[in-house]
Amino acid sequence: MTEVLDIRLDRIDTAADLAAAGAELLETLHEIGSAGLPTSPSTAHVSVVDARGTACALTASAGYGSGMTITGTGLVANNALGELELNRLGLHALPPGTRLASNMAPTVARRDDGSVLAIGTPGADRITTALAQVLLHLARHGEDLQTAVDRPRMHPRRLDDGSTRVEHEQDATIAASLDDAGLARNEHPLHVMYFGGVGAALRTGDGELQAAADPRREAATLIT
């Protein structure tokens, strides 16, 4: 599903312009939510690249929720202390003042040919593995943006008994490789939510704009 967000960055010259653009964006996001378009109660990611090569990647998370909202936005503040995937020693085990861990990894990248990429994903502790695999398909294998996002994924997981197991989407090559390596594995259907929801935008070296949305989660793309 697609919604047009006509927030023109090239109109922003002063702090007042920035404030006005922010207010316009917030109003549009409220309209999107009330219209039933894709929104997220937990982690969401937006990737944007414009024709001039400006790139922005933003990942925002409510985690399991803190019970507080940010005044005037309707956004729920995160409670990273409740992220089980990020607190392997148990909840509330960190000393006061310890910097909280986060797997969120909004990423921008450039190439010498002038191409610009913005990319990121929700997915708790699967964020880093999902991004690493998509970037590998893009940079090493030279695949197009949507093909790289659609490729089957893997994720190594440490179980409660201390053993490890590789979670992976259904793919004969992946299964055979893991079996040959003697690694324990657990197979999922193709394109399941567990493996994230990568969103990416790309400006190619010749100026073409591309966008890709992950079939694993609700998403939207727009090129204007």
List residues with catalytic annotation: 43
Helices marked H in the chain — which ranges?
15-34, 127-139, 145-150, 172-180
Q: For residue 126, how many other CB atoms are within 10 A of its CB?
A: 22
Which of 166-202 are b and which e, b meaning 16 or more Cβ less than 10 Å from the residue's Cβ? Answer: bbbbeeeebbeebeeeeeebeebeeeeeebbbbbbbb
Distance CA 154, CA 165 (A): 10
* C-alpha span between 117 and 47 (Å, rounded): 9
